[in-house]
Amino acid sequence: MFFFLSVLLMCVDAYAAGYRAALVADMDTGRVLFQENANELNYPASLTKIMTLYLTFDALEHGRLNLDDYLIVSKSAANAEPVKLGLSAGSKIRVEDAIKAVAVYSANDVARVLAENLKGGQEESFADLMTRVAREIGLTHTNFENSSGLPNDDHMSTARDIALLSMAVYKHFPQYWHFFGIKSWTYNGKTYTNGNRLLTSFSGCDGMKTGYTKKSKYSLVATAHRGNTHLMSVVLGADSKDVRANVAAQMLTRGFAALNGTAMPTDADVDTYAPPVVETPMPVSRPAPQPVAQSSGTNTFASAYNAATANAMPKYNAPAAVTVTTGGTGVQFGAFSSQSAANNQVARVKNTLGVNAVVEPTGTGLYRVRAYGLTETAAQQLKSSATANGIDSYVFH
């Protein structure tokens, strides 16, 4: 086994000039086979969206969202750049389509739509939630400033943290894992192709996510399943799409060989992405990376993996659903000229505040969104919570 891992390290090191950090681990046990610069800070770019989707899946799991719900597109979301679906302000998108837009196409406007609808219209509040949950699942060197990974000097993570986050998604929400393996997706007559090239070129690849900005360069989380083994590779800061794909494929192939006890493949045998022309970085002289020591210490990846993938979901004070009746004191969350707009507000109130409001026609062409049957104290508290989350409201009697 030591021989296999040593060869794995030497072979991957040949690419080291072309990337900043890398890690390969067993998704079912948390065992790290290889790491290089895994604890060094890097810009995660669109790998950020793994956390955005993690929180979206959590909302689905706890009934704060449904796949068939519709989300409102704000002016801020519509203005997001540069990769976007091009949704117009005031339009809406179904939750399932929003997930696919983020997982497959990495749409920045839709990531912001999810953030704003999940956290009271404020992407900044959603980013705070992202960082808080990151801490709860053991991401010790990660700070999120937005939902998409758009450039921000304070928006940072590490290969270790990205691996833990990805494994937490895999363990906590297996019912939604398939979204990361969608090869293409058609929306409004246009087809979008997944940027993870290994989905179509690497045997057993079943996800997960790509990322790029000028500062971050090219990054990739790629997962693959062969036999009873499920591996994850993380590559950060690669020089090109080809480099990140080839490095990930090299690491995964040799990782499978190491764990399965088979002969280490030669370069000719490595299952890798092969574009028409591949510029392979030349080997450079640098210290050989070392396997992670899998001790029981509190700072090891193994212990962090166990914490991050525990059965219990993170608890971040999501509001419990409040069932309301009619009559008595209540809170109104606006009046709208169409029933569909009112329904969207009902969904927003439920997702943000945990309150099951109702739509009430006024007889004058407007549709009010109201929560009834509250005590005066509860109504005032609900109004305060709505205001804090950017939802206009008032108490009525």
Q: Is 203 a catalytic residue?
A: no
pLDDT in tens, 11-44: 444 444 699 999 999 999 899 999 999 999 999 9
Angle at 150 between CA 145 and CA 154, to 5 degrees: 40
Q: Which residue among the candidates 106, 157, 166, 385 is catalytic per the annotation?
A: 106
**Contact, 46 vs 55, CB < 8 A?**
no
Burial class (CB in 10 A: 0-12, 13-18, 19+), 335: middle
Q: Which residue among the candidates 46, 148, 216, 393 is catalytic per the annotation?
A: 46
Residues ≥6 apart with Cβ < 8 Å to 100: 179, 182, 185, 187
pLDDT in tens, 273-301: 333 222 233 222 333 333 433 333 335 77
Q: Is 6 a catalytic residue?
A: no
pLDDT given for residue 262 in this prediction: 59
Q: Is 76 a catalytic residue?
A: no
pLDDT in tens, 294-343: 333 335 777 778 877 775 455 544 444 434 344 468 888 888 777 777 88
pLDDT average, residue stretch 46-75: 92
Q: Which residue among the candidates 49, 92, 209, 350 is catalytic per the annotation?
A: 49
Domains of the chain, each with CATH number or no CATH? 2-279+292-308 (3.40.710.10), 329-396 (3.30.70.1070)
Decide: pTM greater than 0.85. no
Confidence of residue 47 (pLDDT cuts 50, 70, 90): very high
